[in-house]
């Protein structure tokens, strides 16, 4: 796992070496073990390495035999040994055993089509010296991040935005469209970021720069292809696909472990790991109502599976004190409280291992979120004329907030495209117009429905459940789930791998009909049935908790005063009405309405603004303390081994 940066002068002038060094220094936490550079006239590559495979020969940037092609690569390719053999048979010569070098020769052999052959997670940059061509590519699901900034005379890229902000020409101005949609989704939908001058390369896309011009192309499209086959076929095939995926995701020359929450996803990964080796597992809990149950469930699961388990409990005080630094590490605001939870469990794991496996992606692929059952509960509304449904919705709007049945009528009155925007839905368009000083129509900005329309159009032929999954796969998964997974683990110099988000696993799971996914009144039914042979019954049937944070309680108690002060001192009156937000905070504290997630979105945004725009909070790039701990432990283990 690594960090990459690069700068291309579109006018062909020499790349600024000092600037590239400064960009690379910003991401030392992503690769504290090594750094490397390549310069050739207009192009500059910078690299930070966290050593995982071929610890002695994995230096980058990496070139082919005649140094006509140069590579930067962040990620892991799980089919690289098969690809390497094929390339050897074609006459290619290798200097290392790394997956990185395989990519170089794949490009040499197949050009930009190389990306379609990769099974893994990746952000890739290739410089073709002969063609004077730059190619950037991102993996199928968006597991690894890749940002870029483009001006009249340059195109720069990096694993994290903070590197690009070292370029004086890159604007730190707030992207108003991004802010508008952030308030609905709790993250900024791709390709935008909260910075006007920075964009994300979308998953399953590559960017090509040649002769001063550049364009972005999609190389593959995720979709579901349900097949009319027996349930038993999918149950048996799912466990086989997962078992094989976990096996290939274990490839590393450093210690491994796994995150373990209370749910079936991470438990299944741990159980499959346990079939192959002894496993270290890690979880986190929080002081506050209900926070201990997650720890107890995880401990019991670890006991049943026989892992070496460690956990940590985080107080409200420590959470709040650490929060500004973690917002800085995220690069842009993500108002998901569990993103911060992920940092703490990664911090714990990083003291003992360098690689962890986790269960991200199972819900999106196998149909695991409870909200996916909503179309079944609202089925009766499908038989009503749209005019009658709208009337019911209008009546529901006048009912008292919190009245039983109000939400049911509101949801049933709307078609799927107007009620489901992904797993997080904070502010409606009406909510935002009440206090945000942005007019999307007048400013010609995309709204929430514009963001999701492209994916609903893609899914027109599918049933409602599959439409919801496809929307989450393209928005929620890369924008929230995978973003926090990468940033919070890499802040601790820890590599996270996600066996559910594997090309082969998805290819099989995409064939499961929606009725099988939600069979027996549950979610991800096929997955639950598939893992019954490797998990105790109580674990296989347990409801999903994740790493729950008692945010509602903390905002009424420990967080109330600092949050009120943070919002009250805001200078962004031209962007939103802070008195409106303070009123929501007071209503939440008094128990009038639950505004926790809505208020939290503003809190995270203000902390981001202080870190990146006003520089009120300054953070110095550095390798985490856990790296030193791991190295000391490795040295001790080597000494013991030598003595034996």
- Judged by DSSP in three states, 124 sits in strand
Question: Which two three-digit tokens encode residue 260?
Answer: 């373990």
Active-site residue, selected from the candidate residues 1, 2, 62, 316? 2
CA distance 308 to 270: 11
Question: Which two three-digit tokens encode residue 344?
Answer: 């703490």
In 246-387, DSSP assigns E strands to: 256-259, 280-286, 308-314, 355-357
CA distance 70 to 126: 6
- Judged by DSSP in three states, 641 sits in helix
What does the DSSP assignment read for 453-478? HHHHHHTTTS-HHHHHHHHHHHTHII
Please, are residues 316 and 559 in contact by the beta-carbon 8 Å criterion? yes
CA distance 538 to 542: 6
- Size (the chain), residues: 644
Q: Which residue has the tokens 């489901």?
A: 420
CA distance 339 to 483: 9
Please, are residues 234 and 526 in contact by the beta-carbon 8 Å criterion? yes
In degrees, rounded to 5, the angle at the alpha carbon of residue 495 between the alpha carbons of residues 85 and 143 is 75
Half-sphere exposure in the Cβ direction for 268 (13 Å, CA): 33
Strand order of the sheet with strand 133-138?
62-63, 69-77, 120-128, 133-138, 205-210, 213-218
Question: Which two three-digit tokens encode residue 339?
Answer: 């993103």
- Write the CA distances from 441 to 173, 177, 447, 454, integer angstroms: 20, 11, 9, 19
CA–chain centroid gap for 412, Å, is: 31
Rg, the chain, Cα only: 24
Whether residue 2 lies in the annotated active site: yes
Burial class (CB in 10 A: 0-12, 13-18, 19+), 37: middle
Q: What are phi and psi of 312, to 5 degrees?
A: -145, 145
Would you please indicate which residues are annotated as catalytic (active-site) residues?
2
């Amino acid at each position: 796992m690594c960090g990459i940066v690069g700068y291309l002068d579109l006018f062909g002038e020499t790349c600024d070496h000092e600037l590239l060094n400064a960009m690379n220094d910003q991401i030392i936490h992503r690769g504290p073990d090594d750094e490397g550079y390549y310069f050739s006239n207009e192009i500059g590559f910078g690299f930070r390495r966290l050593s995982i495979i071929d610890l002695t020969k994995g230096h980058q940037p990496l070139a082919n035999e005649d140094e006509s092609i140069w590579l930067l690569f962040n990620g892991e390719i799980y089919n690289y040994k098969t690809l390497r053999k094929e390339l050897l048979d074609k006459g290619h010569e290798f200097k290392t055993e790394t997956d990185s070098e395989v990519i170089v020769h794949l490009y040499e052999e197949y050009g930009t089509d190389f990306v379609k052959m990769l099974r893994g997670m990746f952000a890739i940059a290739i410089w073709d010296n002969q063609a004077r061509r730059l190619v950037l590519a991102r993996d199928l699901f968006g597991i690894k991040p890749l940002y870029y900034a483009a001006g009249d005379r340059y195109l720069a890229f990096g694993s994290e935005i903070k590197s690009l902000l070292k370029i004086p020409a890159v604007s730190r101005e707030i992207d108003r469209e991004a802010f508008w949609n952030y308030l609905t989704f709790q993250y900024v939908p791709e390709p935008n970021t909260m910075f006007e001058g920075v964009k994300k390369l979308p998953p399953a896309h590559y960017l090509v720069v040649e002769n001063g011009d550049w364009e972005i192309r999609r190389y593959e499209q995720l979709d579901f292809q349900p097949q009319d086959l027996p349930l038993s076929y999918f149950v048996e095939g799912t466990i086989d696909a997962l078992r094989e995926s976990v096996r290939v995701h274990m490839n590393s020359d450093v210690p491994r472990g796994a995150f373990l929450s209370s749910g079936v996803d991470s438990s299944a990964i741990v159980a499959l790991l346990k079939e192959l080796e002894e496993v270290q597992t890690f979880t986190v809990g929080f002081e506050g109502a209900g926070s201990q149950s997650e720890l107890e469930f995880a401990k019991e699961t670890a006991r049943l599976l026989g892992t070496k388990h460690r956990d940590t409990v985080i107080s409200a005080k420590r959470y709040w004190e650490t929060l500004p630094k973690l917002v800085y590490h995220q690069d842009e605001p993500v108002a998901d409280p569990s993103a911060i939870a992920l940092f703490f469990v990664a911090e714990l794991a990083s003291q003992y291992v360098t690689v962890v496996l986790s269960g991200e992606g199972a819900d999106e692929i196998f149909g695991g979120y409870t909200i996916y059952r909503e179309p079944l509960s609202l089925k009766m509304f499908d038989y009503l004329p749209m005019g009658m449904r709208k009337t019911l919705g209008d009546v529901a709007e006048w009912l008292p907030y919190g009245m039983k049945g109000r939400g049911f009528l509101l949801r049933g009155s709307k078609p799927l495209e107007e009620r489901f925007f992904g797993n997080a839905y904070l502010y409606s368009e009406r909510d935002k117009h009440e206090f945000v000083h942005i007019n999307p129509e007048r400013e010609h900005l995309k709204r929430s429905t514009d963001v999701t329309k492209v994916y609903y159009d893609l899914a027109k032929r599918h049933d409602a459940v599959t439409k919801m999954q496809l929307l989450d796969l393209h928005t929620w998964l890369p924008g929230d789930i995978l973003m926090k997974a990468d940033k919070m683990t890499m802040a601790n110099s820890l590599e996270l791998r996600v066996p559910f988000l594997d090309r082969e696993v998805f290819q099989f799971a995409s064939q499961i009909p929606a009725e099988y996914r939600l069979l027996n009144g549950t979610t991800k039914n096929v997955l639950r049935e598939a893992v019954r042979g490797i998990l105790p019954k109580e674990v296989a049937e347990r409801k999903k908790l994740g790493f729950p944070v008692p945010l509602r309680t903390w905002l009424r108690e420990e967080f109330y005063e600092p949050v009120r002060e943070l919002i009250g001192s805001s200078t962004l009156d031209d962007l939103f009405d802070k008195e409106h937000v303070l009123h929501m905070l007071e209503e939440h504290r008094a128990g009038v309405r639950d505004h926790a997630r809505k208020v939290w979105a503003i809190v995270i945004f203000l902390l981001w603004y202080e870190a990146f725009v006003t520089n009120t909070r300054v953070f110095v790039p550095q390798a985490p303390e856990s790296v030193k701990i791991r190295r000391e432990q490795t040295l001790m283990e080597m000494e013991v081994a030598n003595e034996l």
